[in-house]
Amino acid sequence: MDTDKILKELQQDVAGLKESSQNKLSMVVFSGDMDKLLASFIIASGAAAMGMDVVMFFTFWGTPALRDKKKKAGGKDIFGKMFGVMLPKGPSKVKLSKMHMAGAGTAMMKYLMKKKNVSSLEDMIALAGELGVRIYICELSMGLMGFSHDEMIDYPGLEFVGVAKFLEEAGASRIQLFI
Protein backbone atom coordinates (compact mmCIF):
# COMPACT_ATOMS: atom_id res chain seq x y z
CA MET A 1 0.00 0.00 0.00
CA ASP A 2 1.24 3.44 -0.86
CA THR A 3 1.15 5.12 2.55
CA ASP A 4 2.81 8.27 1.27
CA LYS A 5 0.01 8.80 -1.20
CA ILE A 6 -2.67 8.19 1.43
CA LEU A 7 -0.94 10.56 3.83
CA LYS A 8 -0.80 13.26 1.19
CA GLU A 9 -4.51 12.83 0.42
CA LEU A 10 -5.39 13.04 4.10
CA GLN A 11 -3.30 16.19 4.51
CA GLN A 12 -5.14 17.76 1.58
CA ASP A 13 -8.50 16.77 3.07
CA VAL A 14 -7.59 18.32 6.43
CA ALA A 15 -6.41 21.51 4.75
CA GLY A 16 -9.69 21.64 2.82
CA LEU A 17 -11.72 21.15 5.99
CA LYS A 18 -9.82 23.91 7.76
CA GLU A 19 -10.45 26.21 4.82
CA SER A 20 -14.17 25.44 4.69
CA SER A 21 -14.79 25.80 8.40
CA GLN A 22 -13.04 28.76 9.93
CA ASN A 23 -13.59 29.98 13.46
CA LYS A 24 -16.12 32.41 12.12
CA LEU A 25 -19.73 33.40 12.78
CA SER A 26 -21.90 34.74 9.98
CA MET A 27 -25.22 36.26 10.86
CA VAL A 28 -28.09 37.49 8.71
CA VAL A 29 -29.91 40.25 10.59
CA PHE A 30 -33.27 40.36 8.83
CA SER A 31 -35.32 41.60 11.76
CA GLY A 32 -35.74 45.24 12.68
CA ASP A 33 -37.10 44.44 16.14
CA MET A 34 -35.22 45.91 19.06
CA ASP A 35 -35.10 42.64 21.01
CA LYS A 36 -33.80 40.62 18.07
CA LEU A 37 -31.25 43.29 17.18
CA LEU A 38 -30.05 43.37 20.76
CA ALA A 39 -29.71 39.58 20.82
CA SER A 40 -27.80 39.73 17.52
CA PHE A 41 -25.27 42.20 18.88
CA ILE A 42 -24.87 40.34 22.17
CA ILE A 43 -24.11 37.13 20.27
CA ALA A 44 -21.78 39.00 17.89
CA SER A 45 -19.74 40.68 20.62
CA GLY A 46 -19.69 37.48 22.69
CA ALA A 47 -18.36 35.57 19.69
CA ALA A 48 -15.70 38.23 19.09
CA ALA A 49 -14.66 37.85 22.74
CA MET A 50 -14.39 34.08 22.18
CA GLY A 51 -11.81 34.83 19.52
CA MET A 52 -14.15 34.34 16.55
CA ASP A 53 -14.19 36.34 13.37
CA VAL A 54 -17.71 37.83 13.18
CA VAL A 55 -19.68 39.09 10.19
CA MET A 56 -23.19 40.56 10.32
CA PHE A 57 -25.30 41.04 7.19
CA PHE A 58 -28.15 43.49 7.52
CA THR A 59 -31.01 43.04 5.13
CA PHE A 60 -34.69 44.04 4.83
CA TRP A 61 -36.12 45.28 8.15
CA GLY A 62 -32.70 45.13 9.77
CA THR A 63 -31.41 47.81 7.39
CA PRO A 64 -33.22 50.91 8.77
CA ALA A 65 -31.90 50.09 12.26
CA LEU A 66 -28.48 51.16 10.98
CA ARG A 67 -29.60 54.61 9.86
CA ASP A 68 -28.12 57.62 11.60
CA LYS A 69 -30.86 59.82 13.03
CA LYS A 70 -28.64 62.91 12.69
CA LYS A 71 -27.99 62.44 8.98
CA LYS A 72 -30.24 63.66 6.20
CA ALA A 73 -30.52 62.25 2.71
CA GLY A 74 -32.10 64.26 -0.08
CA GLY A 75 -33.17 63.45 -3.61
CA LYS A 76 -35.57 60.62 -2.72
CA ASP A 77 -38.62 59.72 -4.76
CA ILE A 78 -42.09 59.40 -3.18
CA PHE A 79 -41.56 55.74 -2.19
CA GLY A 80 -38.14 56.47 -0.72
CA LYS A 81 -39.61 59.30 1.31
CA MET A 82 -42.44 57.05 2.49
CA PHE A 83 -40.07 54.28 3.64
CA GLY A 84 -37.87 56.93 5.19
CA VAL A 85 -40.71 58.24 7.33
CA MET A 86 -42.40 54.93 8.16
CA LEU A 87 -39.34 52.91 9.17
CA PRO A 88 -37.33 53.52 12.34
CA LYS A 89 -34.53 56.00 11.91
CA GLY A 90 -31.68 54.26 13.66
CA PRO A 91 -31.07 52.00 16.66
CA SER A 92 -32.73 54.31 19.19
CA LYS A 93 -36.04 54.16 17.31
CA VAL A 94 -36.59 50.41 16.92
CA LYS A 95 -39.46 48.70 18.74
CA LEU A 96 -39.90 45.48 20.70
CA SER A 97 -41.33 42.56 18.71
CA LYS A 98 -43.75 41.86 21.55
CA MET A 99 -45.30 44.11 24.20
CA HIS A 100 -44.51 47.33 22.34
CA MET A 101 -47.90 48.65 23.53
CA ALA A 102 -47.86 51.87 21.49
CA GLY A 103 -44.41 52.68 22.84
CA ALA A 104 -45.06 52.07 26.55
CA GLY A 105 -43.62 48.56 26.52
CA THR A 106 -40.49 49.55 24.64
CA ALA A 107 -39.96 52.53 26.96
CA MET A 108 -40.38 50.25 29.98
CA MET A 109 -37.86 47.79 28.56
CA LYS A 110 -35.34 50.59 28.00
CA TYR A 111 -35.89 51.78 31.57
CA LEU A 112 -35.34 48.26 32.92
CA MET A 113 -32.24 47.75 30.79
CA LYS A 114 -30.73 50.90 32.19
CA LYS A 115 -31.65 49.92 35.72
CA LYS A 116 -30.15 46.44 35.34
CA ASN A 117 -27.07 47.79 33.59
CA VAL A 118 -27.84 46.07 30.27
CA SER A 119 -26.19 47.93 27.39
CA SER A 120 -28.42 49.82 24.96
CA LEU A 121 -28.49 48.87 21.29
CA GLU A 122 -26.45 52.00 20.45
CA ASP A 123 -23.78 50.97 22.98
CA MET A 124 -23.75 47.40 21.66
CA ILE A 125 -23.17 48.65 18.11
CA ALA A 126 -20.26 50.77 19.33
CA LEU A 127 -18.86 47.78 21.25
CA ALA A 128 -19.13 45.55 18.17
CA GLY A 129 -17.14 48.15 16.22
CA GLU A 130 -14.50 48.23 18.95
CA LEU A 131 -14.23 44.42 18.82
CA GLY A 132 -13.79 44.31 15.05
CA VAL A 133 -17.20 42.82 14.21
CA ARG A 134 -17.72 43.45 10.49
CA ILE A 135 -21.03 44.83 9.29
CA TYR A 136 -22.28 44.41 5.74
CA ILE A 137 -25.47 46.00 4.49
CA CYS A 138 -27.54 44.51 1.69
CA GLU A 139 -27.38 46.81 -1.29
CA LEU A 140 -30.71 45.50 -2.60
CA SER A 141 -32.55 46.47 0.60
CA MET A 142 -30.95 49.91 0.47
CA GLY A 143 -32.14 50.45 -3.08
CA LEU A 144 -35.57 48.95 -2.51
CA MET A 145 -36.31 51.17 0.47
CA GLY A 146 -34.63 54.18 -1.11
CA PHE A 147 -31.95 54.60 1.56
CA SER A 148 -28.71 56.31 0.60
CA HIS A 149 -25.26 55.33 1.86
CA ASP A 150 -24.91 58.82 3.37
CA GLU A 151 -27.70 58.29 5.88
CA MET A 152 -26.22 55.16 7.51
CA ILE A 153 -24.34 55.13 10.82
CA ASP A 154 -20.60 55.69 11.01
CA TYR A 155 -19.18 52.25 11.65
CA PRO A 156 -15.61 51.06 11.11
CA GLY A 157 -15.34 49.24 7.79
CA LEU A 158 -19.07 49.33 6.99
CA GLU A 159 -19.66 47.89 3.51
CA PHE A 160 -22.56 47.58 1.11
CA VAL A 161 -22.70 44.17 -0.53
CA GLY A 162 -24.78 41.61 -2.38
CA VAL A 163 -25.79 38.04 -1.57
CA ALA A 164 -22.62 36.48 -2.99
CA LYS A 165 -20.52 38.25 -0.36
CA PHE A 166 -22.70 36.80 2.39
CA LEU A 167 -22.52 33.31 0.91
CA GLU A 168 -18.76 33.48 0.61
CA GLU A 169 -18.44 34.39 4.29
CA ALA A 170 -21.15 31.98 5.46
CA GLY A 171 -19.64 29.13 3.48
CA ALA A 172 -16.41 29.51 5.42
CA SER A 173 -18.10 29.91 8.81
CA ARG A 174 -18.54 27.36 11.54
CA ILE A 175 -21.78 29.02 12.67
CA GLN A 176 -24.45 30.71 10.56
CA LEU A 177 -27.47 32.39 12.09
CA PHE A 178 -30.55 34.02 10.64
CA ILE A 179 -32.20 36.50 12.97
Q: Which of residues 113 and 172 has its CB atom nearest to other proteins in the complex?
A: 113
Q: How far is the CB of 125 from other proteins (least distance, A)?
A: 13
Residue 15 engages other proteins in binding (rule: CB under 8 A): no
**Rounded distance between C-alpha atoms, residue 92 and residue 108, angstroms:** 14
Residue 46 engages other proteins in binding (rule: CB under 8 A): yes
Q: Which of residues 16 and 132 has its CB atom nearest to other proteins in the complex?
A: 132
In the shown chain, the binding pattern of residues 50 to 79 toward other proteins, with x for contact by CB under 8 A and - for none, equals xx----------------------------
**How many Cα atoms are found within 13 Å in the side-chain-facing hemisphere of 152?**
24
CA nearest 39: which of 124, 161, 101, 109? 124
Strand order in the sheet with 159-161: 159-161, 134-138, 53-58, 22-29, 173-178
* End-to-end alpha carbon distance in the chain: 50
Given a contact cutoff of 8 angstroms between Cβ atoms, the answer to whether 173 and 55 are in contact is yes
Q: Which of residues 87 and 113 has its CB atom nearest to other proteins in the complex?
A: 113
Q: How far is the CB of 161 from other proteins (least distance, A)?
A: 26
The residue ranges that bind other proteins (CB under 8 A) are: 42, 45-46, 48-51, 116-119, 127, 131
